[in-house]
């Protein structure tokens, strides 16, 4: 409709009123149906329709307009609609409808998450979210990966205890405990302790050892009590897993994958990204184009630590200490990306102590073949590794890290039967969206964010 040049034809539009202005003779309604950031302008001849009938057509009201498409003399649009008839589906009382004036803060909008998709900003964000989800499926499908569904309810917590939300049908008001005071899960639904998945990787590996190249894309849950702008309790993760890929292939896949998504965003979401660029972050478009043109820098954790130590020696201060063996905090990751290299960085070969038991061990006995992709403004956007395919090394490392072998016997079986080198990674979908939209709080790129003490809608 907005692009149509079929002036003179009858049209019908349905949508929500963004604004209404005008005088006693002529009224202008900016109407939006959610399909794009652009509104269509409805022109109302007050004498034809009567001033009274327009009264309830205020910001937020939902209407259906029958009219004639005409060339617009006004600026900002080619076509407008001369209204013949307006039907009101639902009014929105100006005294109580919360989305009145422009320029509500993002914090305020989070409190009305049920209505915020109706704002320009969140319309743009959620349209981009859709296009990025499609891009992800297209990228993998075009490369011959199979979309594999891993379970949401699981009894294995591969990333370590403490982060899992428990799933139970036990009566919490009347918990049976044994003599030592522990809960008896025999009566629970699964006959054992169960929780919501923190990652689909272990099951993804099983699939890669059969279908070759797979990816998962689904909700992931972490009960980490970190109230940060980069963590959610419920987020979506994309996890490709590929048989015969070594860490170098894994890095290339990650880089190609992110760039493919960014290109899709620029190709399909131009209006929305331009809006966000002008509204919140004047460097957004520049940053997206910049990253597309760069080869990601690849360096080892050890080299990264050296750079950070030199920065400290040169007078730079970090909140958290830097030394070989320390886990990198977001401030360290961002220093490397934003201050030192000014380019996305893939950091590899981390100390084995700070990484998971399943990562392939290097010959130095100290490091594992982990890779984190670090992005400007975000920090870690991808975490991945080459997996340990050797049964003995894997089970030994699991024991060292207190992962009970009896819980992961099925995972270990892949290393007993037809094992092969393989690699994969996890991309946090919302972290990608932070980068693509330029939003700074992860709660603003998912429709209904779940975070500590936050699950209203």
* Contact set with ligand ATP (CB under 6 A): 159, 222, 224, 231-232, 235, 237, 380-383, 426-428, 430-431
CB of 380 to ligand ATP, least distance (A): 4
What is the DSSP annotation of 50-80?
-HHHHTT--TT-EEEEEEEEEE--STT-SEE
Distances (CA, A) of 414 to 145, 208, 215, 244, 420: 20, 10, 18, 14, 9
Sign of CA dihedral 8, 13, 17, 23: positive
Contacts of 220 (CB under 8 A, 6+ apart): 197, 198, 199, 200, 234, 235, 236, 237
The tokens for 259 are 């760039």
**Which residue of this chain has its Cβ atom nearest to Mn ion in the complex?**
383
372 or 444: CB nearest Mn ion: 372
CB of 135 to Mn ion, least distance (A): 22
304 or 383: CB nearest Mn ion: 383
How many CA atoms, within 13 angstroms, populate the side-chain half-sphere of residue 315? 0
Residues 188-227, mask of contacts with Mn ion (x by CB under 5 A): ----------------------------------------
Of 96, 77, 22, which is closest to residue 54 (Cα–Cα)?
22
Among 383, 384, 424, 449, binds Mn ion (CB under 5 A): 383
376 or 383: CB nearest Mn ion: 383
Question: With binding defined as CB under 5 A, does residue 384 bind Mn ion?
Answer: no
Report the partner that residue 274 touches, choosing among Mn ion, ligand ATP, none (CB closer than 5 to 8 A by kind): none
Report the partner that residue 235 touches, choosing among ligand ATP, Mn ion, none (CB closer than 5 to 8 A by kind): ligand ATP
Q: CA-to-CA distance for 438 and 280, rounded, in angstroms?
A: 7
426 or 449: CB nearest Mn ion: 426
Which stretch of DSSP H or E encloses residue 18?
strand 10-22
Under a CB-based contact definition with an 8 Å cutoff, are residues 4 and 79 in contact? Answer: yes
Taking CB under 5 A as the binding criterion, the range among 21-29, 197-205, 279-287, 381-389 that sits at the site for Mn ion is: 381-389
CB of 379 to ligand ATP, least distance (A): 6
Residue 39 is given by DSSP the state P
CB of 423 to ligand ATP, least distance (A): 14
Residue whose tokens read 């040169």? 314
The helix/strand/coil state of 117 is: helix
67 or 240: CB nearest ligand ATP: 240
CB of 68 to ligand ATP, least distance (A): 49
Phi, psi angles (nearest 5°) of residue 280: -120, -35
Report the partner that residue 145 touches, choosing among Mn ion, ligand ATP, none (CB closer than 5 to 8 A by kind): none
Count the Cβ atoms, other than its own, within 10 Å of residue 405.
12
Report the partner that residue 188 touches, choosing among Mn ion, ligand ATP, none (CB closer than 5 to 8 A by kind): none
60 or 426: CB nearest ligand ATP: 426
Q: CA-to-CA distance for 110 and 101, rounded, in angstroms?
A: 16
Residues 335-374, mask of contacts with Mn ion (x by CB under 5 A): ----------------------------------------
CB of 430 to ligand ATP, least distance (A): 5
CB of 422 to Mn ion, least distance (A): 18
Q: CA-to-CA distance for 122 and 99, rounded, in angstroms?
A: 13
78 or 327: CB nearest ligand ATP: 327
Q: What is the binding site for Mn ion (CB under 5 A)?
A: 383
């Amino acid at each position: 409709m907005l692009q149509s040049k079929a002036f003179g034809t009858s049209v019908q539009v349905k949508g929500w009123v963004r604004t209404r202005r005008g005088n006693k003779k002529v009224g202008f309604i900016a109407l939006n149906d959610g399909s794009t950031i652009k509104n269509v302008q409805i022109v109302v001849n007050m004498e034809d329709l009567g001033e009274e009938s327009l009264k309830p057509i205020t910001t937020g009201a939902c209407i259906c307009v029958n009219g004639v498409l005409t060339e617009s003399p006004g600026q900002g649009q080619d076509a407008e609609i001369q209204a013949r008839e307006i039907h009101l589906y639902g009014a929105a009382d100006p005294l109580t409808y919360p989305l009145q004036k422009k320029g509500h803060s993002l914090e305020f909008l989070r409190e009305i998450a049920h209505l915020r998709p109706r704002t320009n900003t969140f319309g743009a964000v959620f349209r981009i979210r859709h296009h990025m989800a499609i891009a992800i499926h297209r990228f993998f499908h075009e490369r011959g990966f199979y979309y594999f569904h891993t379970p949401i309810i699981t009894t294995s917590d591969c990333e370590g205890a403490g982060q899992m939300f428990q799933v139970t049908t036990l009566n919490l008001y009347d918990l049976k405990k044994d003599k030592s005071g522990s809960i008896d899960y025999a009566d629970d639904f699964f006959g054992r302790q169960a929780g919501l998945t923190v990652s689909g990787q272990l099951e993804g590996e099983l699939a890669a050892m059969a279908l070759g190249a797979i990816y998962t894309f689904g909700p992931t849950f972490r009960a980490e009590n970190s109230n940060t702008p980069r963590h959610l309790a419920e987020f979506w993760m994309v996890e490709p897993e590929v048989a015969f890929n070594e860490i170098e292939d894994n890095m290339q896949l990650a880089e190609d994958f992110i760039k493919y998504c960014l290109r899709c965003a620029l190709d399909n979401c131009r209006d929305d990204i331009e809006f966000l660029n002008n509204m919140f972050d004047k460097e957004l478009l520049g940053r997206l184009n910049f990253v597309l043109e760069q080869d990601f820098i690849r360096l080892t954790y050890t080299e990264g630590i050296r750079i950070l130590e030199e920065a400290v020696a040169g007078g730079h201060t970090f909140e958290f200490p830097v030394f070989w063996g320390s886990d990198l905090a977001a401030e360290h990751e961002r220093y490397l990306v934003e201050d030192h290299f000014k380019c996305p960085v893939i950091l590899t070969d981390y100390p084995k102590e700070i990484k998971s038991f399943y990562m392939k061990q290097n010959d130095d006995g100290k490091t594992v073949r982990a890779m984190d992709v670090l992005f400007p403004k975000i920090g870690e956007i991808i975490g991945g590794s080459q997996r340990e395919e050797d049964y003995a090394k894997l089970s030994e490392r699991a024991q060292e890290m207190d992962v009970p072998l009896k819980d992961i016997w099925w995972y270990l079986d892949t290393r007993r039967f037809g094992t092969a080198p393989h690699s994969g990674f996890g991309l946090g979908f919302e972290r990608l969206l932070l980068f693509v939209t330029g939003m700074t709080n992860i709660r603003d790129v998912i429709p209904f964010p779940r975070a500590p003490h936050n699950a209203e809608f």
